Amino acid sequence: MLGATSIVVGIFWDISWHRTIGRDTFWTPAHMAIYLGGLLGGLTAGWLVLHTTFFGNEREKSAAVKLWGLRAPIGAWVTIWGCLAMLTSAPFDNWWHDAYGLDVKILSPPHTVLALGMWAVVLGALLLVLREQNNTAALSAAPSTAVRSHWFFIYGNGVLLAMASVFLIENSFPNQQHSDPFFRMSAATYPLYLVGVARAAKFRWSATLMALAYMLIVALMAWVLPLFPGEPRLGPISNRVDRFVPLPFPLLLVVPAIGIDLIRMWLGAGRNWWRDWLIVLLSAIVFVGLFSLTQWFFAKFLLSPYGQNWFFAADRHWGYTEELAEWRTQFWDKAGSESNPPATMRTFGIALICAFVSSRVGLTLGNWMAKVRR
Amino acid sequence: MKQTPTKFQISNILQIPTLRLLYRVWNFGFKDDLKFGVWNWGFRTLLATSFLLFPFAACAHIGDQNVFFEGNAGPYPVRVVIRPPGVIPGLAEISVRVNANGAKQVTVLPMRWDSARQGAPPPDEAKLVRGETNLFNTQLWFMRGGAQSVEIAISGAVGVGKVIVPVNAIATRVLGMPRGLGWVLAGLGLVLVGLAASIIGAGVRESVLASSEVPTKKRRWRARGTVAFAAIGLTTFLWFGKNWWDAEANDYRNNRLHRSLSLTPKLAADNGARILTVEREIDSRRRNGPLVPDHGKLMHLFLIREANMDVFAHLHPIKRDWKTFDVTLPPLPAGEYSIYGDVTYETGLAETLIGKIALSNPGTATAAGVLDTDDSWKLAQPLNGAFVTNKHRVALSTSLWMDMSLEGPLIEDRDTRLRFAVRDAILRSVKLDHFMGMAGHLILRRNDGTVFTHLHPSGSFSMAAQQLFELRAEGKAPLKVASSKADPLCRLPPPDATTNTMLHEEISFPYAFPKSGSYRLWAQVKVRGEVLTGVFDVNVAPAHRRFAKAGFLQ
């Protein structure tokens, strides 16, 4: 979890670094935080593999999964995979910069490899937590370590949600929250965690707690980063910032998450195929409905003078290349636009399908995670 | 700041025999590959098979991006070389040699045409190169494409001196993947996919079992099925990745990689003269504004006969409309000609437009009396790559000679200075007139046409671009440009009348040949009102054979 925290802090810090200072090297503190997180996870998992395989007792060996002749908990394998993917992305990304220029955007093939690696490192840590959680008694009778593992699971999912939100950030600025891609991409991503992975948590309000964890992480970064001074070291400079630039205020995922938790409570805890499909269907509808309504109006609020303060940070998430102009407080959707077409009824129809598929995949994953014992 | 090794350092390393052998083996491992689409699916996305690094397109020149400046920064005589990045955003390398004592600090400041000084970051300090006393070096990021400039400021015993050098920030590089890196990435990719499929299989087979519980046969088969399914999923994922990579590579090539715009020629007859009309290509995505005159001419047009460069003309067409220019052709003999049109846009971006034309025999066509007084043409012996002479004295006329002096052998990418002087019949030095705002012009082309450059004694940049950047830095010109069809918003000052009266005895051009091979040089001067052209052929040696020191001449 320390590694996961290091990674998520590093990601937010790095993006802020690029939008504030601009110039960076491999050795920036933000990069170090990301790689430290990967390294912590990788070394821990590597130690688990070596220990379980060569020095573990029979109980430890029998509580591990066998892979390529070695033994370790499934979470350790996933983390090792993530660490390897992160390492692979480094030379790939370096070559990419030489071939096509330094990235001025987040989404690129080598960054996707890196993102998958970071995601897997955190997912592996979550699986290790789940292993502990699922091997203990029910929450009411659990010892303190088990309670801690339940909260770790919630926190880890908050980290995963925060990482997913960063991956979508190029389409998630408040100004884009009336645009078609924002709703489609959000619907394809967040239900995976809120509907699906939340199934593996032991809390009644697990989706709500995960959403709150995500919001707290993102909001903390939005509040803390601007406390540090920083000035652009690259030109052309259109906006002379003097503080670290944060990412926008988090999405209000807690609203659809409450709806999803209520549906799950209403349908009961029993697990069978028809109940799962009903949960998926209703959750998708509730997610798209509540999320769209909430963000539609919350984005308006963020673009209004009420959002221009330290708490909502809507006046300070603009980087050094983004000039001060009216477009900062306007919605960017425009008919005919390739990048920001306006949301229509078709958008919400597609979003519903995306949310349905995402929820179904997530629930399958969640059902498996709820049973992970090795 | 981290600095990349210079050629000097690499060359030194290569003097160690074992390393030299390794370097050569490594070099032979490279081969051209421009096509990322050779991978059909799966892991082949990571199998980049070769490495290619070459200047793909043109700017103010063909096949040569480096910018040279030789002149004064206030009280300090300086020599500046800017090696722009091959990709944008990317790092440019700046070297400044201060040819005077007392320079204490050298800073460099990037300024883009539309943001000038107010959009510039804090200047970077160039560091003194180890072992040198007056050579400073640093790197600068060019974040956006288009017309850029670098302001060099020198502080020292006699105060502060500044000079602005324009440079094109354009992507010209197509980079393949080094074979070694390709194999490493492919290997890692294989391990990642294999491990992912195995983890998924192990997850289904064992992860939900209680400690010491043995997986049933049914569960094992389910795990195998899941692995197969996962393999299909991972392959599909890689297929999407490959398409994405292809799309990015195509976007780079089609939209970001610089391409030379073309000149479309047409020939017509008018009163016994041959009129060449050239229409310049317009790319509406490049908003560089209208053309501005560079040393008094909107376009410098060069015609060079293929394939052995025995005929050369330097003409100055007249603007007919925003796209079209006319010029009366001198009596050039029949043949296939390459056309190069040097232009500068209002942003400060300088470009060489390219075209081809086939000329028939001039017959009785004449150009007498209708040519621009600065127009000129020259017939010479064909260049034959196998017998390039490196001759250092050529006849300009029956009574005038031109000498070329080199400062040592010419070596690829090595900084040099090409000097020319005109002698009379008894080899006395002859005074040179001012020729279009300067002492002379040097045009050079590699025998295969991959390099074409137009140099001035002050360097290889457009002087109009320098004027534009100076005006904008002083706040005397708008940070916007007119539309391509309109007149420029920015009026450049007329040439300085006092400099036009100066006479010169010798001219020199700072340069570094970007590639080895055979080159033809046309050195143009004006003597007693007549434009004279000296034609020289030179061979440039590859850098890695001589292991020569790259760096600056004193």
Chain A residues within an 8 Å CB radius of B171: 101
B211 in contact with chain A, both atoms CB, cutoff 8 A: yes
Percent of chain B with pLDDT over 90: 44
pLDDT over threshold 80, residue B499: no
More confident position, B553 or A353: A353
Q: pLDDT tens across A81-134, in order?
A: 999 999 999 899 889 988 888 877 778 899 999 999 999 999 999 898 888 888
Please give the full DSSP string across A30-54, using - where no structure is assigned. HHHHHHHHHHHHHHHHHHHHHIIII
Checking if the pLDDT of B498 tops 70, the result is no
| Predicted local distance difference test score (pLDDT) of residue B430 | 86
B53 touches chain A (CB under 8 A): no
Q: How many helices and strands, by DSSP H and E, does chain B display? A: 7, 26
What's the average model confidence in pLDDT over B50-57?
Answer: 34
Report CB contact under 8 Å: A81, B184.
no
Instruction: Give the closest-approach CA distance of A321 to chain B in angstroms.
Output: 10
pLDDT in the model for residue B370? 61
Q: How confident is the model at residue A325 (pLDDT cuts 50, 70, 90)?
A: confident
Taking the Cβ of residue B175 and every Cβ of chain A, the question of whether any pair is shorter than 8 Å is answered with yes
**Residue B67 structure tokens:** 């910018």
Query: Cβ contacts (< 8 Å) between B248 and chain A: which residues?
Result: 100, 108-109
* Surface-to-core class of residue B54, CB atoms within 10 Å of its CB (0-12 exposed, 13-18 middle, 19+ buried): middle
CB contact under 8 A, A85 and B192: yes
Of A66, A77, A235, the CB nearest to B115: A235
Render pLDDT for B400-440 as a digit per residue (tens, 0 to 9): 889 998 888 889 988 899 999 998 888 888 888 888 878 88
- Does A324 score more than 70 pLDDT? yes
Size of interface A-B (CB pairs under 8 A): 132
Which residue type is seen at B389?
Answer: T
SS (H, E, C) B408-472: CCCECCCCEEEEEEEECCCCCECCEECECCECCEEEEEECCCCCEEEEECCECCCHHHHHHHHHH
The DSSP bridge partners found for residue B270 are B273
pLDDT digits (tens, 9 = 90+) for B120-144: 999 999 999 998 889 999 999 998 8
In this predicted structure, the answer to whether residue B196 has a pLDDT above a threshold of 90 is yes
Average pLDDT, stretch A299-320? Answer: 93
Q: What is the mean pLDDT of residues B32-54?
A: 31
* pLDDT average, residue stretch A258-267: 91
Query: What's the average model confidence in pLDDT over A308-323?
Result: 92
Q: Which of A78, A84, A234 sits opposite B143 (nearest CB)?
A: A234
Measured between beta carbons, the chain B residues lying within 8 angstroms of A369 are none
- Residue A168, min C-alpha distance to chain B (Å): 17
Pick from A87, A100, A339 the residue to mutate for testing the B interface (most B CBs within 10 Å): A100
Model confidence over B233-277: pLDDT tens digits? 999 999 999 999 999 999 998 888 988 899 999 988 877 788 899
Query: Within an 8 Å CB–CB cutoff, is residue B88 touching chain A?
Result: yes
pLDDT of residue A116: 92
Q: What SS3 class is residue A345?
A: helix
- Give the per-residue pLDDT at A372: 87
Whole-model pTM: value is 0.80
Residue with the two structure tokens 């920030």? B169
The beta-carbon neighbor of A238 closest among B119, B185, B199 is B119
Residue contact A23–B141, C-beta within 8 A: yes
**Nearest-by-Cβ selection for B196 from A81, A237, A374:** A81
Examine the pLDDT at A137 and tell me if it is beyond 60.
no
Q: Inter-chain contact B195–A92, Cβ cutoff 8 Å? A: no
B115:A236 CB<8 A: yes
Residues from chain A contacting residue B189 (CB–CB below 8 Å): 88
Least Cα separation, residue A289 to chain B (angstroms) = 30
Which pair of tokens denotes residue A51? Answer: 């220990």
State the sign of the Cα–Cα–Cα–Cα dihedral B376, B381, B385, B391.
Answer: negative
Residue B20 has pLDDT above 60, yes or no: no
| Residue B22, pLDDT score | 33
* pLDDT tens sequence across B443-459: 999 988 899 999 999 99
Q: What is the pLDDT of residue B550?
A: 37
Average pLDDT of span B182-202: 93
Average pLDDT over residues A131-141: 66
Q: Touching check for B10 and chain A: CB below 8 Å?
A: no
Instruction: Work out the pLDDT band at A138, boundaries 50, 70, 90.
Output: very low
Residue-level pLDDT at B331 = 86
Residues of chain B with Cβ-Cβ distance to A99 below 8 Å are 87, 173, 175, 177, 252
User: Residue B388: which pLDDT band, with cuts at 50, 70 and 90?
Assistant: low
State the pLDDT at residue A142: 53
**pLDDT tens-digit profile of B331-370?**
889 999 999 999 999 999 999 999 999 988 877 656 555 6
What is the enclosing helix (H) or strand (E) of B140? strand B135-142
Work out the mean pLDDT of chain B and round it to a whole number. Answer: 81
Specify the higher pLDDT residue, B15 or B191: B191
Q: Which residues are CB-contacts of A61 (< 8 A; sequence separation ≥ 6)?
A: A52, A53, A71
Reduce the DSSP state of residue A248 to 3 states and report it.
coil
pLDDT-based confidence at residue B2 (cuts at 50, 70, 90): very low
B89: which chain A residues are within 8 Å (Cβ-Cβ)?
Answer: 101-102, 104
Query: For residue B517, which of B550, B543, B547 has the smallest C-alpha distance?
Result: B543
